[in-house]
Amino acid sequence: MTIENLSSNKSFGGWHKQYKHTSTALNCDMRFAIYLPPQANDSKPAPVLYWLSGLTCTDENFMQKAGAQRIAAELGIAIVAPDTSPRGDDIADDNAYDLGQGAGFYVNATQTPWAKHYQMYDYINQELPELVKSTFPVTDQWAISGHSMGGHGALMMALRNSEQYTSVSAFSPIVNPVSCPWGEKAFSAYLGDDKADWREYDSTELLRESSAKVPMLIDQGLADNFLAEQLKPQNFTAVAKEKHYPLTYREHEGYDHSYYFISSFIEDHFMFHAKYLK
């Protein structure tokens, strides 16, 4: 598969690069970013942390705002940040920020007009990792993390593919999308009216049925405007407690839903993943 380098920036001895490639899963061109730490080369490939971003975001939000490159360089961990949806003039979209382009929710859509392009689950879980591994000096040790909609994606991906990810973490994740306005709107559009299909992408429901134990860290700000209506972490933590799941759940007074919160604790997440990636 041919990929095109769009930009390169040296950072903490490593390289942040943006690429464009044609995705067969999504039937369109896609962009992603990768940070390669200074240790990464063909004789010493780096493990990978996949980062999934939230509503309205692209690959740029995390790479520019989280301040993750320093700790990634120190630990020798590569970062891969995909876009949050397919994009283009001929791609189905919606005027609202929480549906369509920028709001793929990391599912495989089954409904018209979304199904033609919105196969984000296959893209994140299969196509992009295969492309990254075949192109860059990285190992097949992968961790996954994300924020908000991306936190939903990270938890869901890890719970559905426990053999693929060494660990998972999230900031302010949408943990129970079948029971919140964001998830109800997106899932009904992308997946249809049968809520049995929704549960296949709901982390709380997946955790309830899971027998695997992927180490998990979740950070939640208590000043988050979306906490009560959209995020509902208590639904997830109750199931985790019942199942004795290896979850570390932390609440933080005064922190909101922004990248100020993420950048304050991103080093903790990399240190958490490093224990398992090494």
What are the helix (H) ranges across 44-202? Answer: 59-65, 69-75, 120-122, 128-135, 149-160, 181-191, 195-198
Q: Is 134 designated active site?
A: no
**Which strands form 78-82's sheet, in the order they lie side by side?**
3-11, 14-23, 28-36, 78-82, 46-52, 138-147, 165-171, 216-221, 247-252
Which residue, among 110, 54, 46, 109, has the nearest Cα to 82 in the 3D structure?
54
Structure-token pair, residue 124 = 């994140």
- The residue annotated as part of the active site, out of 167, 224, 269, 273, is 224
Q: Is 224 designated active site?
A: yes
Burial of 199 (0-12, 13-18, 19+ CB in 10 A): middle
> Which residues have CB under 8 Å from 135's CB, separation 6+?
3
- The residue annotated as part of the active site, out of 117, 152, 257, 273, is 257
- The residue annotated as part of the active site, out of 23, 53, 145, 148, is 148
User: Rounded to an integer, what distance in angstroms lies between the CA atom of residue 107 and that of residue 254?
Assistant: 32
User: Rounded to an integer, what distance in angstroms lies between the CA atom of residue 37 and that of residue 90?
Assistant: 36
Task: Provide Rg for the chain, Cα atoms.
Answer: 17
**Contact 249/268 with Cβ under 8 angstroms?**
no
Name residue, tokens 């943006």: 18
Structure-token pair, residue 148 = 């908000």
Q: Is 193 designated active site?
A: no
- Residues that are catalytic: 148, 224, 257
